[in-house]
Amino acid sequence: MRSPLISFDQLFLNGTENRQRYLVAGVDEAGRGPLAGAVVAAAVILDPDQPVDGLNDSKALTAERREELAGQIKERAVAWHVADASVAEIDQINILHASMLAMARAIEGLRTPPQHCLIDGNRCPLTDFNCQAVVKGDALVKEIAAASILAKVARDQSMLEMHKLYPQYGFDSHKGYPTKQHLAALQQHGVLDIHRRSFGPVRAVENASLVGAIV
């Protein structure tokens, strides 16, 4: 089934320009809300001659479908790049600025420089490339949807790797989000180096452990 999303030229050029004249990158991030792990961003320049059917906001897709589409995007895109901002950077500059940093790195890592960047959300990262914010862009524009899929798949894979190291925390199921399971694991096992100490639930557990150690 063909994707209901529209492309850059349909949304912004009204079909009056030659799509081939533009190299448009869609940019999105994954992992702003979790208590653990890096925030991940992706930038994708789609190839109109090699379309990927079924693109959608990554949150509207199953994990299996995201994996399938991610493979097609990587095979067919003109260029793609995935980047992140670390837990240390998140704690130092806050999650919003870290998300912007990860998106800038994703754009700058593209092997083919884009002429225009469409950023999911209401603000743009600091970069020398021409950027335009698109609210709810991951559900509107194919280029951004493709980026949302790559970012989500990459972040989920990183959490599966963390699960192998710390199986008692359940990262394979909650992917670092503040679920009851994750909060209970934090209380029982304590804070890891991959936890974001600037986030309230993590900070509360760490402060409690410090108080307990003093007492």
Looking at residue 22, its pLDDT comes to 80
Do 121 and 37 share a structural domain? Answer: yes
Do 202 and 140 share a structural domain? Answer: no
Do 44 and 86 share a structural domain? Answer: yes
Do 210 and 123 share a structural domain? Answer: no
Looking at residue 98, its pLDDT comes to 98
Low-confidence ranges of the chain (pLDDT < 50): 1-3, 16, 19, 214-215
Looking at residue 208, its pLDDT comes to 83
- Judge whether 132 lies within some domain: yes
- Closest residue by Cα to residue 9 from 124, 22, 133, 26: 22
**Paired tokens of 58:** 């990554």
- CATH of residue 76: 3.30.420.10
Measured CA distances, 11 to 45, 117, 133, 207 (Å): 16, 13, 13, 49
**What range defines the domain where residue 31 resides?**
8-164
The amino acid present at 137, given as its one-letter code, is G
Do 181 and 110 share a structural domain? Answer: no
- Judge whether 44 lies within some domain: yes
Cα–Cα distance between 146 and 167 in angstroms, integer?
30
- Judge whether 3 lies within some domain: no
Do 147 and 49 share a structural domain? Answer: yes
Do 151 and 98 share a structural domain? Answer: yes
Looking at residue 14, its pLDDT comes to 53
Q: What digits encode the pLDDT tens for the residues 131-152?
A: 999 999 999 999 999 999 999 9
Looking at residue 11, its pLDDT comes to 56
Cα–Cα distance between 43 and 201 in angstroms, integer?
31
Do 178 and 105 share a structural domain? Answer: no
Identify the sign of the CA torsion 170, 171, 175, 177. Answer: positive
**Domain end call among 122, 146, 164:** 164
Against a cut of 0.85, is the pTM above it? Answer: yes
Looking at residue 19, its pLDDT comes to 47
Looking at residue 1, its pLDDT comes to 35
- Judge whether 1 lies within some domain: no
